Chain A
């Protein structure tokens, strides 16, 4: 453990360079650059509000906040896991030729997406102002929500990046999975009805939904259920432990399969 921390400190600069590389390359050729991380969620939220607000007859003024809070978190999860899953394979040339601690590939992908996510939260602030949703005392809940989603994403990413080295089609399979997770996140429909039905478990057993609910509690001013905290916490810890053990046990074989 002590050695692992020492190692991580030693490679801090490399990790930083890899994170910066992700951000720089993502926005290099675009005119508005990093502003896109604000514009894009605002635009899609507008679409979702119009479509589902009308469809479901949700007249509630806080509906845009309800949507964007969840959408931002979900797109962090799906974007980061998809990108991190490919990270080892994408850097095959480097893995085969220079020694770099391999966990840096998925980790830097996740951190890079997390930074973009944090910046994009400004869009949430804008929507809150627009919808006149004032922060309450429950706002502290966004901190644990962010920590939980970060580690859930990192753990899942580690596992996926290993699987991707051995089985290429995990990429397509995971695309389907993230779509399913999206519908299990209650991003653009109200949860009450589902929670009363026999399908409640699809939300309750989805760690991403649990983190979203905690986050929503923070911005919309209610206390999230303790189940959300417990389940997301246990899931994050388990994903990290399994991810690290799995990654460690397989990382020496990567070079043979790339």
Chain B
């Protein structure tokens, strides 16, 4: 057991992330050219969203990311999911990762739910056979049989999130990345989705979880981290870190 527990799933190695908040937002040739000949410098406001974040997540650990708005939590998750490439440092990932960042970001609104299952599934890297096999489960869990052949553009945002959640968790991931997604849908679906996450955890899934709901973090996670202005100011067991965060926010 102790041997298996030591298996590294995600290794975040001294990661820093810098954004250029160019105040003028030059995105066309004309402006660029004018600035070039008038010699006006293109303003570059640099901003470090993350500085030197370093931790390792072992198999079966559930890490809750805490921090105020703009602390860099979502940036960190996006780096781990591979959407951003860090400015410095490196991330090593192992196993099947299910990133539940913004549900339904890969949906095509002209497509029906049926078509989107295949499209979004392909985006997440699943195979056609796998999706065919899981198709009924996916629609069943999302509770969308009635609207399976209706274009997504006619869906409510709750319905879209339900479908997104259902597709993402159809696979049994080894690492689950959750960004506030357990607050989607109605109360009934929230309970159902949390149940599914608990189920995956019971099977030994590693979890990265962002939420402003401290109670939910305490319920799901065993480890916690506090980010403040891009710096990791606390990392440890959730019972130790949660009181620190509570104090911070009060």
Contact = CB atoms under 8 A, between A and B. Distances in A.
Interface of A: 10-11, 13-14, 16-18, 21, 24-25, 28, 93-100, 166-170, 173, 252, 255-257
B121 to A, nearest CB: 8
A97 B106 contact: yes
A98 B83 contact: yes
Contact of A252 (B29, B85, B119, B122): B85
Nearest 3 pairs between A and B by C-beta? Answer: A97-B105, A99-B82, A14-B122
A249 to B, nearest CB: 12
Contacts of A93: 105
B123 A94 contact: yes
A97 B122 CA distance: 15
Contacts of B82: 99
Q: What is the size category of the interface that chain B forms with chain A?
A: 20 to 34
Given A28-B110, A98-B99, A17 B122 contact: yes
Contacts of A94: 105-106, 123
A99 B83 contact: yes
16 contacts: A10-B125, A14-B122, A17-B118, A21-B111, A24-B115, A25-B108, A94-B105, A96-B83, A97-B78, A97-B83, A97-B106, A98-B83, A98-B105, A98-B123, A99-B81, A99-B99
Interface of A is mostly: helix
Contacts of A167: 27-29, 32
B128 interface: yes
Interface in B1-35: 19-20, 27-30, 32
Interface string B106-117: 101011000100
Contacts of B115: 24
Contacts of B28: 167-169
- Max chain B C-beta neighbours (<10 A), residue from A14, A25, A98, A257: A98
B106 to A, nearest CB: 5
Interface of B: 19-20, 27-30, 32, 78, 81-85, 99, 101-102, 105-106, 108, 110-111, 115, 118-119, 122-125, 127-128
Contacts, number: 67
Nearest to B83: A99
Given A17-B118, A166-B27, A97 B110 contact: no
Contact of B84 (A28, A169, A255, A257): A255
Contacts of A17: 118-119, 122
A25 B110 contact: yes
Contact of A100 (B84, B118, B123): B123
Nearest to B102: A97
A169 B119 contact: no
Contact of A21 (B32, B83, B119): B119
Contacts of A255: 83-84
Given A98-B99, A98-B106, 17 more contacts: A10-B125, A11-B125, A14-B123, A17-B118, A21-B108, A94-B105, A98-B105, A98-B123, A166-B27, A167-B27, A167-B29, A168-B27, A169-B28, A170-B29, A173-B29, A255-B84, A256-B19
Contacts of B125: 10-11, 14
A169 B81 CA distance: 32
B190 to A, nearest CB: 21
A257 B27 contact: yes
B55 to A, nearest CB: 21
A256 B105 CA distance: 17
B30 A169 contact: yes
